[in-house]
Amino acid sequence: MGRYVIRRLLQAIPVLLGTTFLIFATVYALPGDPIAALGGDRLLDPLLVARMRETFHLNDPLLVQYWYYISGVVTGDLGTTFRGVPVASFFQHKIQVTFNLAITALVFEAILGVLLGLYAALRRGRWQDQAILAFTLLLVSVPTLVSGFILQLVLGVKLKLNTGIDFFPVAGIQDGWRSYLVPGLVLAGLSVAYLARLTRTSLMETLRADYVRTAVAKGMPRRRVLGRHVLRNSLIPVITYLGADLGNLMGGAVITETIFNLPGVGQQLFQSVYLRENAVVVGIVTVLVLVYIVANLIVDLLYAVLDPRIRYD
Amino acid sequence: MTNATVTQEPAKHAKRVKAKKPASLWSDAWYDLRRNKIFLIGSALVLILILMAAFPSLFSPIDATKAATCDLAQARKGITSEHWFGTDNLGCDTYSRVIYGARVSIIVGIATGVITAVIGGGLGLLAGFYGRWTDVVLSRLAEMFFAIPVILGALLILAMIGRDKAGAWFVVMALAILAWPMILRIMRASVISAKSQDYVTAARALGAGPGRIMIRHILPNAITPVIVTATLNLGVFIAAEAGLSFLGVGVQPPEISWGLMIGDARNRFLEAPEPLIFPAVFLSITVLAFVMLGDAVRDALDPKLR
């Protein structure tokens, strides 16, 4: 197990280096001069510009700049913005917002996806199963761009106007955890559908297994068969999917953040690209890639805990 | 190729004997598809959308690409007998704009799907077939691209190209750069399992070169999962294009895109919902059509996944 963890961590290093380099090179190639952009409409003192370019290594070739950056990252320093603010403290709050949003979505996904999949599998072939399958097809087809605006209108505006219920804030984060409910539901949409289908398929396979037939044959109550034999075994791929999805949800939140006006990393990245705050852009993507890699690693290790048949060595 | 397919699919073979007509995996899948309601509805919708993308003037009397058809005095007037889907902020007819907007979605969906399938499929074939360092290099390269979130990565690439130049084909390029690794993974796994089959050994013993083995023997037997994923991805790419255009980095005006229309209408959404609702409905129906097609193709080509 220990050796497996070390091997996986070592494998992650070239991926992380390569990905950050790709992002770094893209940002390097962005049009416009970042220092000139700092002055806005005014022209900056050439001496100041020269000094800034020197400080931020902007005159060096791409690879040298990347070397300065990555040696900083290794020691936990994500660099400073051109205005002199450390990048890490700059987007700490933004990461928190995106993380809250992704976790809310993940909770919705886990609850709705598993329940729908479970119910469909137990009612296999009947109309309830058909209805749930049709519903997942609908969920997959409605992009967040569409579902976001619909829920904003229905829950945020119509519900308030017609019934006076003002429980679902649909813009900003000033209402604490409630602010994340509707955006989280929107972000979860596609994943709920995938997870429901995955749970259904996985359960139906397990329901056909010999040990389940044995358990039923020896007179075990249905509830106990489901809980001890079926669920425990068929939820392994479901948990894997959930873990790996955290990274996807965080990286895919930008459209939801824009619709609901949540100040998360997606929005920040969007602004920073046009302000040419290179360190912020690369920093955000680096953090998201890290989350993705670590989430996948944890999931792989969870596998071994959940299914003792899998051995790593 | 037929022989190889049949040995892999004994169930299909039995069915074929019963039906008493020659069938490969493909004609068998086609037989299934023609009887699948989801496939028929999905492909009918897709055909209408392709027709709409190719000849928008067949569906709309107003040419939405001409600014002269817009009248500022008619802005946000709601649904009238003249403007079935209402008018937008600039007084342009939403119905004709929705019709003309199909082109970008269809181009981005299909072009990105084909390009990722060719690049990812080709590299996956090489990685799976040659193994060793070819596999190590290609797989690591794919992982580097795979770890980048698609929308954020595409946003960066499009920002690099610059808003003044960005158009539908740059969106295709940005999405393709980020999406090919998924196909590579699937193709690679599929090739590795096909490579160890007896018919490959037989072909090699008969003196077939690596090129011939790859193209004639492995490719036809390994490509089904790629076709399934590529079809299902079409809807994902269409939604991604709408999202990028909505954010303002994708297709730029005066080109017409549903995502762009949604973005334009969003600030006046409450007083004039039509210019947002109708492109949203068309976008959802288009994604639905491609997802239905993908689901049906998967069921026909890979009954195990059902």
List CB contacts (< 8 A) between B284 and chain A.
141-143, 146
Closest approach of chain A CAs to the CA of B207, in angstroms? 38
Among A residues 136-165, those touching chain B with beta carbons less than 8 Å apart: 137-138, 140-146, 149-150, 153, 157
CA B274 to the chain's CA centroid: 27
Q: To probe the interface with A, which of B45, B135, B144 has the most A CB atoms within 10 Å?
A: B144
Interhelix angle A2-28/B150-161, nearest 10 degrees? 20
Residues contacting A298, CB < 8 A, separation 6+: A243
Q: Is B199 inside any structural domain?
A: yes
pLDDT at B114: 93
Q: What are phi and psi of B103, to 5 degrees?
A: -55, -50
Whether residues A141 and B291 touch (CB distance < 8 A) is answered with yes
Q: What is the mean pLDDT of residues A36-50?
A: 70
d(CA B100, CA B93): 11
Q: Which residue has the tokens 């953090």?
A: A287
Q: Which two tokens stand for residue B254?
A: 């005066």
Of B44 and A308, which is predicted with more confidence?
Answer: B44
Contact of A269 with chain B, judged by CB distance below 8 Å, is answered with yes
d(CA A176, CA A178): 6
pLDDT for B177-192, tens place per residue? 999 998 998 888 888 8
Q: Band of the pLDDT at B198, cuts 50, 70, 90?
A: confident
Whether residues A266 and B152 touch (CB distance < 8 A) is answered with yes
Amino acid at B255: E
d(CA B171, CA B121): 21
Closest approach of chain B CAs to the CA of A140, in angstroms? 8
Output the average pLDDT for chain A.
Answer: 80
Closest approach of chain A CAs to the CA of B190, in angstroms? 20
Residue A165 has pLDDT above 70, yes or no: no
**CA nearest to A257 within chain B:** B247
List CB contacts (< 8 A) between B162 and chain A.
31
Residue B160 has its nearest CB partner, among A29, A149, A252, at A29
Whether residues A22 and B144 touch (CB distance < 8 A) is answered with yes
d(CA A36, CA A161): 48
SS3 call for A297: helix
Q: Is B222 inside any structural domain?
A: yes
**CA nearest to B292 within chain A:** A137
Residue B144 has its nearest CB partner, among A19, A254, A259, at A19
CATH number, position B36: 1.10.3720.10
- The percent of residues in chain B predicted with pLDDT above 70, rounded, is 83
- The torsion region of residue B206 among left (phi > 0), alpha (psi -120 to 50) and beta comes to alpha
Residue B148 has its nearest CB partner, among A146, A254, A289, at A289
Closest CA to A146 of B246, B152, B301, B198: B246
**CA nearest to B287 within chain A:** A141
The pTM (predicted TM-score) of the whole model is 0.83
Whether residues A254 and B155 touch (CB distance < 8 A) is answered with yes
**CA nearest to B239 within chain A:** A143
Q: How is domain A94-262 classified at the CATH fold level?
A: MetI-like fold (1.10.3720)
CA B86 to the chain's CA centroid: 30
ipTM of the complex: 0.81
Interhelix angle B224-247/A144-151, nearest 10 degrees? 50
Q: Band of the pLDDT at A107, cuts 50, 70, 90?
A: very high
Q: What is the DSSP letter of A228?
A: I
Q: What is the mean pLDDT of residues A167-175?
A: 70
d(CA B230, CA B180): 10
SS3 call for A164: coil
pLDDT at A39: 64
pLDDT at A112: 92
Residues contacting B99, CB < 8 A, separation 6+: B52, B56, B59, B60, B64
Q: Which residue has the tokens 């931020």?
A: A56
Spell A127-146 as b/e; 16+ CB within 10 A means b. eebeebbeebbebbbbbbbb
CB count, 10 Å around CB of A79?
A: 18
Pairs of residues, one from chain A and one from chain B, whose beta carbons lie less than 8 Å apart: 126
Residues from B in contact with A at Cβ < 8 Å:
140-141, 143-145, 147-153, 155-157, 159-160, 162, 235, 239, 242-243, 246-247, 259, 262, 266, 269-270, 273, 276, 280-281, 283-285, 287-288, 291-292, 295, 305
pLDDT at B4: 44
Residue A255 has its nearest CB partner, among B243, B284, B287, at B243
Q: What is the DSSP letter of A175?
A: T
pLDDT at B8: 46
Residue B152 has its nearest CB partner, among A27, A143, A269, at A269
List CB contacts (< 8 A) between B151 and chain A.
251-252, 254-255, 266
pLDDT at B172: 92
Closest approach of chain B CAs to the CA of A25, in angstroms? 10
Q: What is the per-residue DSSP string for chain B? A: -HHHHHHH-HHHHHHHHHHTS---HHHHHHHHHHT-HHHHHHHHHHHHHHHHHH-GGGT-SS-TT-GGG--GGGTT--S-SS-TT-B-TT--BHHHHHHHHHHHHHHHHHHHHHHHHHHHHHHHHHHHHH-HHHHHHHHHHHHHHHTS-HHHHHHHHHHHH-TTT--HHHHHHHHHHHHHHHHHHHHHHHHHHHHTSHHHHHHHHTT--HHHIIIIIIHHHH-HHHHHHHHHHHHHHHHHHHHHHHHTSSS-TTS--HHHHHHHHGGGTTT--HHHHHHHHHHHHHHHHHHHHHHHHHHHH-GGG-
pLDDT for A123-138, tens place per residue? 887 888 888 888 888 8
**CA nearest to B155 within chain A:** A270
Contact of A134 with chain B, judged by CB distance below 8 Å, is answered with no
Q: Band of the pLDDT at B115, cuts 50, 70, 90?
A: very high
Closest CA to B111 of B158, B51, B63, B171: B171
Closest approach of chain B CAs to the CA of A278, in angstroms? 11
Q: Which residue has the tokens 């799976």?
A: B128
Q: What is the per-residue DSSP string for A102-122? A: HHHHHHHHHHHHHHHHHHHHH
d(CA A197, CA B105): 27
Q: Is B12 inside any structural domain?
A: no
Could you tell me the residue range of the domain that residue B244 belongs to? Answer: 25-62+77-305
Of A18 and A1, which is predicted with more confidence?
Answer: A18
CB B89 within 8 A of CB B95: no
Residue A218 has pLDDT above 90, yes or no: no
Q: What is the mean pLDDT of residues B50-79?
A: 74
Q: To probe the interface with B, which of A144, A145, A160 has the most B CB atoms within 10 Å?
A: A145
Contact of A189 with chain B, judged by CB distance below 8 Å, is answered with no
List CB contacts (< 8 A) between A248 and chain B.
149
Whether residues A143 and B239 touch (CB distance < 8 A) is answered with yes
Closest CA to A286 of A22, A11, A1, A99: A22
d(CA A155, CA A270): 27
Query: Residue A24 belongs to what H/E stretch?
Result: helix A2-28
CB count, 10 Å around CB of A218?
A: 8
CB A75 within 8 A of CB A68: no
Q: Which two tokens stand for residue B104?
A: 């970008």
Q: Is B11 inside any structural domain?
A: no
Q: What is the mean pLDDT of residues B193-204?
A: 81
Spell B106-145 as b/e; 16+ CB within 10 A means b. bbbbbbbbebbbebbbebbbbbbbeeeeebeebbebbbbb
Residue A143 has its nearest CB partner, among B144, B284, B295, at B284
Q: What is the mean pLDDT of residues B49-60?
A: 82
DSSP-assigned beta bridge partners for residue B87: B93
Amino acid at B27: S
Whether residues A31 and B269 touch (CB distance < 8 A) is answered with no
Output the average pLDDT for chain B.
Answer: 80
Whether residues A269 and B148 touch (CB distance < 8 A) is answered with no
Q: Please tell me the total count of domains within chain B.
A: 1
Range picked from A154-168, A272-286, B78-92, B223-237 for highest mean pLDDT: B223-237
Of B23 and A110, which is predicted with more confidence?
Answer: A110
Q: What are phi and psi of A80, to 5 degrees?
A: -120, 155
List CB contacts (< 8 A) between A24 and chain B.
none
